């Protein structure tokens, strides 16, 4: 009974120490974690190295994974880059095993763990107004608890050593490695930490009672079992978060299955490397730390050739309606090799974006009973605009014909104006709503009619559209000025509340901006629209 409580207490101290160490280092680092993820993940190799270094620093692949998911959700990091950070995080998390093998089981660190905890807690208390000092103190206290837990576990497993020897696990047969694989999975799932499970396995191996091959199988299981954390974290999360979590699951299972099939060769290689590093291949915890690193490095090497296919497969998972909108229908990376075709695809895609945005804007401006749209669709249209911009950026990296060069600035401006219509329409429906009596009447009817006319996409003759642009904008301006005049006069005469007047005036102003942005978007695209029909017109439009 006491032994069970000792084991439980050691595991609890270890997990508490890991948690405090992680949170403290994140607090001490400030925005450093975010800055590195944002600036150092632009290529697969840099993402891999960044993930490994950051995870080794904060001692938590979960912390790096959560930050990575946040950047994917914010659009600052693509899934293609994020998966490499996740892969690197799996390598970085092996640092815990090295700490246990080289420090926790080599030194009597339990003797000075308590002073470390005391100094850390004191620094945390004295640095309450200085986050970096407080975070450093918390990390130091966590470091002490981490090794105090290891010391207690080591003592408990020393007591269990005679029992291990009576089991004679080396003769357990063919199914023994599989049994320890499952044991490692269950242990990591229960502890919600592969580091905790691996530390327990390394500590159990230090006394020599657990055969190395079986301990290695347990480590493989711990790496697979830690994917339950990603499963729990992704429950109810956004599609982007679920894809990042799924990449973590796929990698760990893929590398785990490969390592289990190569269990004995990998253990032999770990023995050989331990002999080279410290001339001591009988140091089983060190050998297992090497094995854990080889396991994750092997996974990266095996998945590298298929990484792009994995990302493409992940992109098809958990697709939300707004993401379907945000994926280009007419753009493909292969088009960039033929600028004329790329320009045609850009015009068609912007026309699609314009049609989607204008339809949603029209629905928003309709009476509330006839407004069948999902607010989340705005994100899809904005994502589509960013995808078009990204395509333009890639296209601009090569020499382009003059007609394409002339067209790109207008196409970018057209995207911007379409996004303006979405933003202004959203502000109208989500902003302060004036009394219904203040937004009715002939002038309001004229304003709505003018906006609806502006939202009718036009890809005809550019010269004819200039006249149409001026005519429709004049109609909207006249209606807006009449509304403003009527509202100000009513407020001055005391017939309406000033706050209600300002809400109605703001609504009219935003409606006018919707019409102006829509007409500007059409005007910018109008000159280049004939490209979609196969005829290139190189004359740039006038400023709008």
What DSSP letter does each residue of 109-132 carry, written as one string?
THHHHHHHHHHHHHHHHHTTT-HH
Compute the C-alpha angle 249/252/253, nearest 5°: 85
What pTM was estimated for this model as a whole? 0.58
pLDDT the model gives residue 220: 92
Question: CA-to-CA distance for 90 and 501, rounded, in angstroms?
Answer: 59
pLDDT the model gives residue 81: 80
**First-to-final CA distance of the chain:** 82
pLDDT the model gives residue 257: 92
pLDDT by 10s per residue, the chain, length 544: 565 676 677 667 766 766 676 566 556 555 555 565 566 666 778 888 878 887 776 656 666 666 676 566 555 567 788 888 888 888 887 887 787 777 655 555 555 667 777 878 888 777 766 767 777 787 778 767 766 776 666 566 555 545 544 455 555 556 788 888 888 888 777 666 677 777 778 777 776 667 788 888 989 998 888 787 667 656 666 677 788 888 888 998 999 999 999 998 998 998 888 888 765 556 788 888 889 889 989 999 999 898 888 888 887 777 666 667 777 888 877 787 888 888 888 888 898 888 888 888 888 877 553 444 455 577 788 888 888 988 888 888 888 888 888 889 989 999 999 999 988 888 888 777 788 778 888 888 888 888 888 888 665 555 666 667 778 888 889 998 998 898 888 888 888 888 888 888 898 999 999 999 998 888 888 877 766 555 444 444 444 4
pLDDT the model gives residue 202: 79
pLDDT the model gives residue 538: 42
Nearest to 141 by CA among 155, 156, 125: 125
Q: Which residues contact 224 (CB under 8 A, 6 or more apart)?
A: 181, 184, 185, 188, 252, 253, 256
pLDDT the model gives residue 418: 92
pLDDT the model gives residue 280: 56
CA 492 to chain centroid, in Å, comes to 53
């Amino acid at each position: 009974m006491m032994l069970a409580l000792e084991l439980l207490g050691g595991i609890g101290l270890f997990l508490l120490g890991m948690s405090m160490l992680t949170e403290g280092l994140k607090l001490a680092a400030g925005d450093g974690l975010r800055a590195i993820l944002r600036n150092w993940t632009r290529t697969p190799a840099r993402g891999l190295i960044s993930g490994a270094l950051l995870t080794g620093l904060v001692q938590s692949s979960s912390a790096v994974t959560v930050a990575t998911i946040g950047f994917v959700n914010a659009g600052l990091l693509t899934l293609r880059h994020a998966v490499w950070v996740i892969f690197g995080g799996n390598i970085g998390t092996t640092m815990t095993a090295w700490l246990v093998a080289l420090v926790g089981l080599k030194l009597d660190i339990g003797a000075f763990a308590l002073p470390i905890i005391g100094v850390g807690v004191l620094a945390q208390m004295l640095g309450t107004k200085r986050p970096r000092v407080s975070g450093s103190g918390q990390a130091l206290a966590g470091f002490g608890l981490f090794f105090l837990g290891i010391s207690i576990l080591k003592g408990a497993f020393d007591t269990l050593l005679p029992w291990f020897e009576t089991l004679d696990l080396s003769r357990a047969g063919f199914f023994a490695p599989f049994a320890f694989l499952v044991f490692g999975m269950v242990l990591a799932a229960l502890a919600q930490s592969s580091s905790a499970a691996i530390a327990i396995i390394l500590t159990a191996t230090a006394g020599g009672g657990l055969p190395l091959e079986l301990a290695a199988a347990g480590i493989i299981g711990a790496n697979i079992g830690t994917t339950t954390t990603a499963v729990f974290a992704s429950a109810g999360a956004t599609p982007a978060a679920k894809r990042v979590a799924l990449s973590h699951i796929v990698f760990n299972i893929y590398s785990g299955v490969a390592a289990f099939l190569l269990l004995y060769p990998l253990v032999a290689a770990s023995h050989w490397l331990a002999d080279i590093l410290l001339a001591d291949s009988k140091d089983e915890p060190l050998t297992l730390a090497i094995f854990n690193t080889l396991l994750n490095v092997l996974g990266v090497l095996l998945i590298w050739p298929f990484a792009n296919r994995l990302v493409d497969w992940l992109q098809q998972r958990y697709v939300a309606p707004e993401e379907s909108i945000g994926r280009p229908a007419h753009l493909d990376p292969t088009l960039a090799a033929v600028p004329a075709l790329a320009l045609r695809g850009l015009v068609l895609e912007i026309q699609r974006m314009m049609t989607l945005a204008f339809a949603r804007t029209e629905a928003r401006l309709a009476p509330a009973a006839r407004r069948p749209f999902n607010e989340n669709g705005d994100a899809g249209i904005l994502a589509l605009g960013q995808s078009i911009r990204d395509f333009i950026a890639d296209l601009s990296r090569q020499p382009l014909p003059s007609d394409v060069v002339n067209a790109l600035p207008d196409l970018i401006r057209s995207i911007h104006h379409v996004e303006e219509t979405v933003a202004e329409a959203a502000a109208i429906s989500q902003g302060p709503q004036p009394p219904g009596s203040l937004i009715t009447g002939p002038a309001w009817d004229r304003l709505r009619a003018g906006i609806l006319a502006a939202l009718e996409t036009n890809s005809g003759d550019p010269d004819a559209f200039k006249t149409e642009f001026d005519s429709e904008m004049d109609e909207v301006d006249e209606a807006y000025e009449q509304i403003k005049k009527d509202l100000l006069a009513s407020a001055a005469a005391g017939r309406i509340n000033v706050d209600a007047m300002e809400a109605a005036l703001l609504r009219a102003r935003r409606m006018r901006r919707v019409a102006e942005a829509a007409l500007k978007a059409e005007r910018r695209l109008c000159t280049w629209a004939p490209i979609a029909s196969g005829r290139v017109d190189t004359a740039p439009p006038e400023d709008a």
